[in-house]
Amino acid sequence: MKTGIVIVLVLAGGLAAVLLADGSAARRPEPRSASIELSTDPNDDVSRQSVATFAGGCFWCVEEAFDEVKGVVSTTSGYTGGHTKDPSYDEVTVGDTGHFEAVRVRYDPAVVSYRQLLDAFWRNIDPTDRGGQFCDRGDSYRSAIFYHDPDQKRLAEASRRAIEESRLFQGPIVTEIVAAGEFYPAEEYHQNYYQKNPIRYKFYKWNCGRAARLEELWGEKS
């Protein structure tokens, strides 16, 4: 049974959809807020947090990567960059919405800088892959940095130039840098998926070859 599942995953390039075939994917998405707003109350801890948004393929994996960074307060899987309002997971993976699978990161700038988040981002993606990330193929799995202000844009562009000038990779760096727009949180069963379903998640990640490819690209385990 497991062998059959792996074959379907590889051929379809839709690992998450098959892995959720236990019935959860068939449920209608729970209502989601259109975007995440930060408090402006100076007495509220949230008001002292900053926001960053990244797309690096499967948002389950991107969440896990950023949750390990000291200074990251929370991560939220979702959809952004497209034209469809309040899209569902199925709509995004079909590819007609223009959205990326992305993760919004709330972080404490007194503990971790945006520059450090950029470093964590690059080391968890293949910046030369134009058609997706690892085994997940299609436009919704492309990599991108969504900047929230001019300073984030400047730092993101500088980090991409540094990677291009390092000549670490044979192919061009194709990761996009675009202005952040409306962010739609994904369905609840996607949030913290790696924690809620550790065995299934590890099975998916191993078969996707993500860790092996990152070690090959960056020369270290991820």
**What would the pLDDT profile of 70-83 be if each residue is shown by its tens digit?**
999 999 999 999 99
How many CB atoms lie under 10 A from the CB of residue 99?
25
Written as one string, the DSSP assignment of 18-51 is HHTTTTTTTSPPPP--SS------TTSGGGG-EE
User: pTM for the complete prediction?
Assistant: 0.78
pLDDT of residue 10: 34
**pLDDT for 41 beyond 50:** no
Mean per-residue pLDDT for 40-49? 54
pLDDT of residue 220: 62
Query: How far is the C-alpha of 59 from the C-alpha of 190, rounded, in Å?
Result: 8
3-state secondary structure 97-123: CCCEEEEEEEECCCCCCHHHHHHHHHC
Query: How far is the C-alpha of 44 from the C-alpha of 49, rounded, in Å?
Result: 10
pLDDT of residue 142: 96
Catalytic one of 58, 61, 135, 208: 58
Mean per-residue pLDDT for 161-184? 95
Query: How far is the C-alpha of 63 from the C-alpha of 40, rounded, in Å?
Result: 25
Q: Does 58 participate in catalysis according to the annotation?
A: yes
